[in-house]
Amino acid sequence: MFKGAVGKDVVSRTWRKVKVDWEAWNRRSLAEEDIVRLILDGTVVKVRIDRKATSISLLVVLGIRRDGQKVLLAVKNMGGESEAAWRVVLDDLIARGLQTPDFLLIDGGAGLERALAAL
């Protein structure tokens, strides 16, 4: 992509530019989204941090619009699938204006079920 070695300064400049867009994406309003179904799941991905391979747990929310189009609504590194972690994600979606969907698809994780029941 960069046609050669990539130094720390290139990574830093790139991250500063991407970070602004990432933060705006995470704050965007969901009030106008015509979401009728939600798919909520946690996934573990392997990454390299400081040259060390490690795994991180991401909570992912995918919305499906009435016309069938899929929309990525949230991706959060919350350290696991606890009730508290899912509540942060769900409370954020609600605060951004997401309306209650007609249908939820979940994998039966206890933390997610408790977080949904609390809503």
State the pTM of this model.
0.85
**Model confidence band, residue 1 (pLDDT cutoffs 50, 70, 90):** low
Lowest mean pLDDT among 11-15, 89-93, 106-110: 11-15
| Beta pairing, strands 70-77 & 52-65 | antiparallel
Say if residue 9's pLDDT is above 90. Answer: no
* Whole-number pLDDT of residue 110: 94
Say if residue 4's pLDDT is above 80. Answer: no
What would the mean pLDDT of 11-29 be, rounded to a whole number? 91
Helix (H, G, I), strand (E, B) or coil at 43: strand
* Whole-number pLDDT of residue 80: 92
What would the mean pLDDT of 56-79 be, rounded to a whole number? 96
C-beta neighbour count of 64 within 10 angstroms: 19
pLDDT tens digits for range 71-102: 999 999 999 999 999 999 999 999 999 999 99
Could you give the CA distance from residue 50 to residue 61 in angstroms, rounded to a whole number?
28
DSSP letters, 44-82, are EEEEEETTEEEEEEEEEEEEEETTS-EEEEEEEE-SS--
Task: Give me the chain's average pLDDT, please.
Answer: 93
Say if residue 5's pLDDT is above 80. Answer: no
